[in-house]
Chains A and B, each alone.
Chain A
Amino acid sequence: MALGHGDYGDVLALQRTLHAKRCAGELGDLLLSVEHNPVFTLGRSGMHDHILVAEDTLKQQGIQIHEIERGGDITYHGPGQLVVYPIFDLRGFGKDIHRFIWSLEEAIIQTLSELGIGSARNDGFPGVWVGARKIASIGVYVKNWVTYHGLALNVDVNQAHFRMIRPCGLSIETVSLNDIRDLHMSVAEVGAIVVRQLGALLEKDIVTMDRKEVI
């Protein structure tokens, strides 16, 4: 389900609704793809002092802050970044969280490979990396064996926003796909490839739906 541009709070509420419906067996597995308005999200171990600028500056730039239930520290979502949220019942996937996370990473690595960009996992440092620079983040919440939250892949992100935080609590450099190869790809175009790759890795046929068809 491609949501286009979406406010973080609205999409989080939608995820929680869909998660409850998936747990109740009212829906099948879903992938939501979205491009958020600028927002910093703090996971369970997130620390406000990993935001490096004053709150007034964030307000002026229209950047929201949300504290959420997923694992991990702080991350940024915003225009030019593909976000994919799988609402996925792991009971149909061997209850194997390791394989599920591996599949999310692999979908990103395979997508970048299709676009001529080499990327890899980095032991001890979550996400997907191009050399020493981080291009994608992963953070998942699992309740009743059904997932929500998911992955974020930088397609053409305002790097100045990333420099306002210590992403994941680390002093790391982030990078966007279009910085590495000037492919002028839109978030929607990259999203179509990631969703196709995820369908294959999660062993699902992908059917495209809009929001009204789902709820």
Chain B
Amino acid sequence: MNADTIHIRMPDLGDVSKAVVVQWLHPIDAHLTEGDDLLEVETEKTTFVIPAPASGRLAAIHMPETTAVTTGQVLGEIEPQ
């Protein structure tokens, strides 16, 4: 992972057992504004939208669709611009 990028992390959703990445709403290299809807994860009958933590370029997607994820895990990276 690049030291200059900002990590997109799986937030703490409470005492949920497991979550799965459903859909990235932007492609790699997309230009994002902080707060944009970035990806959806599904857990316990809930679809949760994770916003972009910073403005910049979507530089990496580490957890593609259908991957199981846990709290705090790095899902992708944004290169600030």
Contacts and interface: CB of A to CB of B under 8 A. Distances in A.
A58 interface: no
27 contacts: A43-B47, A44-B42, A45-B42, A69-B40, A69-B47, A71-B22, A71-B45, A95-B13, A96-B13, A96-B14, A97-B43, A98-B14, A98-B15, A98-B16, A98-B17, A98-B44, A100-B14, A100-B46, A101-B44, A101-B46, A138-B45, A139-B46, A140-B47, A141-B46, A142-B48, A143-B49, A144-B51
Given A95-B14, A99-B14, A44 B45 contact: no
Interface of A: 43-45, 69-72, 94-101, 126, 138-144
Contacts of A99: 14-15
B23 interface: yes
Contacts, number: 63
Q: Per DSSP, are chain B's interface residues mostly helix, strand or loop, or mixed?
A: strand
Interface of B: 12-17, 22-23, 37, 40, 42-49, 51
A43 to B, nearest CB: 8
B47 A141 contact: yes
Given A44-B40, A44-B42, A45-B22, A96 B49 contact: no
